[in-house]
Amino acid sequence: MKLEFDNVNYVDDGGLLAAEIVLTGGEIIALKNSGRLVVGNARPDHDIVTLKSGKERYRRTTARQKDWTEELLRNEAVVGNLTFNLNPDECDFSIDEEGHTLTIDQGNLDQEVDSATRTRSIISAGENPAQTFDLDTRFAVRIWFANEEEERKLFHVYNQRGEKVNDTVAKFQYQSTPHQRIAKLLMVNSPHLGMDNIEVQTNAVSSNSNKLTAFNTLSQATEAFWSNDPMTEADEKMDADYLIQFWDELVAHRPEYGRLNKEERQKLRGVSMAGTAVSIHGILALADAMRTTGTPLSKLAGLKSSVIIKDGAGADRLVDYLDYDNPLWTDLGVLVNATDKAGNVKKTLRMSFQTRKAMGDAMKRNLGL
């Protein structure tokens, strides 16, 4: 059966000819159901596996597909251009640039170049029992006319050129979850944080910086350890207001979590847990525990405690609770001994969900929670 497309615009890109068309969600699904659009490419996620029952499915459904499907069901998805291909070695088609038409006499469109996940999301939304996806939604589609070798090159260009923006920049520019929005409200409105004390361009803070932490760290900590699930914008603001007050009290007892100059910040690095990324997670876990138990914020004074340790000669020595020399942190695995290039053994932070949780649990125990 012939496929005919009207209102086609032709473009030149990378020495190849390509067509630009518009298809509705319903038309894309019809192409797939008729077998005229083969969805999938070299990514293992798109491999078709056969179950014992004889049914076929894709090897893996990614989180990206789930997110796109949910957004399509709300008719709010940003999908961008979809990419199809007509392999001239396998298909017969006619191009009419003056008449702005494309006719496919034989063969199928494929997605070996790109966008199979987005197409699968459109199909998934269209087949969802809720039937809330508007099948008349129009999508921009580029059709390449690339042979197998050219197709492989295009796949490489689409998937290897360029670099995804880091999580800090992405989350600071747009917050997709309530917890991310709470983190930004905290950062923007706390007099102890703000853009001049929170890194918003990279996922890590430079050793030469005076800043406390990166926004992605603050956001991740909130997402992982803030247990409240706000339903409205007012709920989010209420949670953020609590955290702003919490941070005021925290800085009153541990100024390391507020604004410091570069010299003060650098003196802490490598000797104190205060202000480290893993401790930010611990602080958010502590804040959540104090909120849920109704613990007065004044109890944060307990974080300014000291512990007695033995020095090399066996004598008692007093160290700050958050000092690297507090054996608690190595006992919990938050700090580990590592050898640097010069052969010196020094304590190094270990970042994992387990150590972040251990940090929070230790802080809660310290305050009797």
CA dist., res. 347 & res. 333, Å (int) = 11
Query: Count of CB atoms within 10 A of residue 276's CB?
Result: 25
CA dist., res. 33 & res. 214, Å (int) = 47
CA dist., res. 176 & res. 189, Å (int) = 19
CA dist., res. 13 & res. 10, Å (int) = 10
The tokens 């009290």 sit on which residue?
A: 249
Which pLDDT does position 332 carry in this prediction? 93
Tens place of pLDDT per residue across the chain (369 aa): 899 999 999 999 988 999 999 999 999 999 999 999 999 876 667 777 777 777 767 777 778 888 899 999 999 999 999 999 999 999 999 999 999 999 999 999 999 898 899 999 999 999 988 889 999 999 999 999 999 999 989 988 887 766 667 788 778 777 878 999 999 999 999 999 998 999 988 888 888 899 999 999 999 999 999 999 999 999 999 999 999 999 999 999 999 999 999 999 999 998 999 989 999 999 999 999 999 999 999 999 999 999 898 777 778 889 999 999 999 999 999 999 888 777 787 888 898 999 999 999 999 999 999
User: In this structure, are residues 360 and 281 in contact, taking their beta carbons and an 8 Å threshold?
Assistant: yes
Q: How many CA atoms lie within 13 A of 120 on its CB side?
A: 23
Which pLDDT does position 302 carry in this prediction? 94
The residue type at 208: N
Tell if the pTM clears 0.75, that is, is over it.
Answer: no
Which pLDDT does position 63 carry in this prediction? 80
CA dist., res. 141 & res. 60, Å (int) = 24
Sign of CA dihedral 244, 246, 248, 250: negative
Give the residues across from 92 on adjacent strands.
Answer: 106
The tokens 């939604």 sit on which residue?
A: 137
Angle (deg, nearest 10), helices 178-189 and 215-225: 130
